[in-house]
Chain A
Amino acid sequence: MKKLMKGNEAIAEAAVRGGCRAFFGYPITPQNEIPEYLSKRLPEVGGCFIQAESEVAAINMVYGAAGSGARAMTSSSSPGISLKQEGISYICGAELPCVIVNMVRGGPGLGGIQPAQSDYFQAVKGGGHGDYHMLVYGPNTVQEAVDIMYDAFDKADKYRMPVMILGDGMIGQIMEAVELPEMKDPAAFPKKEWATDGTGVGASRRIINSLYIEPDVLEKVNHRLFDRYKELEENELRYEEYLVEDAEIVIVAYGTVARISKSAVNALREKGIKAGLLRPITLYPFPAKAIAKVAAEANVKKFVAVELSMGQMIEDVKLAVNGAKPVEFYGRTGGNVMTPEDIVEFVEKEVK
């Protein structure tokens, strides 16, 4: 039975159904419905909700809970995610699984509260200090956000790293019909032998740590992390192609912007312009090989990266295209959102 739900609330419910039993967060627009919903919902399933004193404290509570074996998460929006970067780096260094939701708003600084995609670099290139990545998703519908959230803890546990869901104000605020999946049974989750549950003594002692004072040891750890990122690329890479097969113009866009772009592609086709859309669903790992393959097709003349930023993902698109075809950029920023018509107009000019 489909249910009309606001994005933020649907994601929160999907988190609970996916096994989340601990949430630590701090209020910030436009994601407040997530903590509000979970403050009521988590106690119903024996979970823990704490409104922390700061974003910094919240992410470190996630560190503690995740390190002790809980399926723990936090959510925030851009300025708050910046504050969390210290904790995220430690979580990645200590190889702890958790989920982080970022409902991106315009920046830099306090910026605005309207939708943006200007945290792309921060999300996929690292964000905090040190050599690390996270598994990053950019869902484009509430249903896709729900499905990704539902399995996010499984992925986080499997690879022992944070999963970030990179949304924007729109995906958080929009209402759409969703099919909610069944509640997962926490008893069936794999046991985390590495977690500090308090029972360790002597040889069975567990240490959660990101400090490796010997360069050789730290180097080995970093190689281990990056071996895991290779596994992500093999197992978790996701993207969608829409009318790309015979396209002359290929739009690359993710999240809600990909939906706006899809409408633009339809309108362009009606005007006789062969447009297509390549939509990365995982932003890290990035579908570089898929883009490279499309770039090699003779029918493809040009790529257009469409983003709610001054141009961030376009750098990954350019790396993937590797000079084979021109890559143009169309973006709005500051919280302004383009319409399908804006994209159509831009592409029409590019075709001329």
Chain B
Amino acid sequence: MEEKIIIAGFGGQGVLSLGQFIAYAAIADGKEVTWLPSYGPEMRGGTSNCSVVVCDKQVASPIVAHPDCLIAMNKPSLYKFSDKVKAGGTIIVNSSLIPDKVERTDVKVVYIDAASLAMEAGNARTANIVVLGAYIGMSNLFPKETVKKMIEAKFANKPKVIPANLKAFELGYATAAK
């Protein structure tokens, strides 16, 4: 198997860390992975993106031209990358910030109101974890429990935020798995 993902949005939306969560989950699940961020001035408030490649053998190219999945956290990202998604691939759209509908008919689209679900989870900053949940729910790339354990481990030094993040993950997961 090989799954290529592009995650894009504003700097500060947790785009890079969302990609890292997928990478950590991949390692926890015994897969090989590369996480490659955009870097430089565009990180500061501008658009930010990362490419994640998950594979059952060593990843060759970490550069992703045509992702299996695009996670678009803001409008510019959707328009920058939506044409590049493989036919039959998936686009996850953060509908809290993107009112537009995806025009392509050859991809699966998941709209998720990440901001509202994050508020429901009790922490506005968990929007990226909501989307992580949606991605896992949709793709079934890793077992749900593996990802939840990884979330607990990554927030181990901030135990207070673990419940909200787990709830955010569950809410996102349920939305996409519907």
A residues sitting closer than 8 Å to B (CB atoms) are 2, 4, 29-30, 113-114, 141, 169-170, 173-177, 256, 259-260, 262-264, 266, 337-342
Contact A4 B66 (CB under 8 A): no
A-B contact pairs, 20 of them (CB 8 A): A4-B20, A4-B24, A4-B33, A4-B35, A174-B34, A175-B23, A175-B35, A175-B36, A176-B33, A259-B59, A260-B61, A262-B60, A263-B60, A263-B61, A266-B60, A337-B63, A338-B63, A339-B65, A341-B65, A341-B66
Question: Which A residues touch B9, using CB under 8 A?
Answer: none
Chain B 42-73 near chain A by CB (<8 Å), digits 1 or 0: 00000000000000001111111110000000
Contact B65 A113 (CB under 8 A): no
Q: Output the least CB separation between B21 and chain A (Å).
A: 11
Chain B 87-126 near chain A by CB (<8 Å), digits 1 or 0: 0000000000000000000000000000000000000000
Contact A174 B62 (CB under 8 A): yes
Question: Which B residues touch A170, using CB under 8 A?
Answer: 36, 62
Contact B40 A29 (CB under 8 A): yes
By size class, the interface of chain B is 20 to 34
What CA separation (Å) do A29 and B43 show in the bound complex?
13
What CA separation (Å) do A232 and B158 show in the bound complex?
50
The 10 A-B residue pairs with the shortest CB-CB distance in the complex, in nearest-first order: A339-B65, A263-B61, A175-B35, A262-B60, A263-B60, A260-B61, A113-B40, A174-B36, A340-B61, A341-B65
Q: Output the least CB separation between A7 and chain B (Å).
A: 10
Question: Which B residues touch A113, using CB under 8 A?
Answer: 39-40
**Given A113-B39, A174-B34, A175-B35, are A340 and B65 neighbors across the interface (CB < 8 Å)?**
yes
Having A176-B35, A260-B62, one finds 18 other A-B pairs with CB under 8 Å, namely: A29-B39, A170-B36, A173-B36, A173-B37, A173-B39, A174-B34, A174-B35, A174-B62, A175-B33, A175-B36, A176-B33, A259-B62, A263-B61, A337-B63, A340-B60, A341-B65, A341-B66, A342-B65
Question: Which B residues touch A337, using CB under 8 A?
Answer: 63
What CA separation (Å) do A341 and B36 show in the bound complex?
18
Question: Which A residues touch B152, using CB under 8 A?
Answer: none
Question: Which B residues touch A259, using CB under 8 A?
Answer: 59-62
Q: Which residue of B lies closest to A143 (CB)?
A: B58
Contact A169 B39 (CB under 8 A): yes
Question: Which A residues touch B24, using CB under 8 A?
Answer: 4
Contact A256 B62 (CB under 8 A): yes
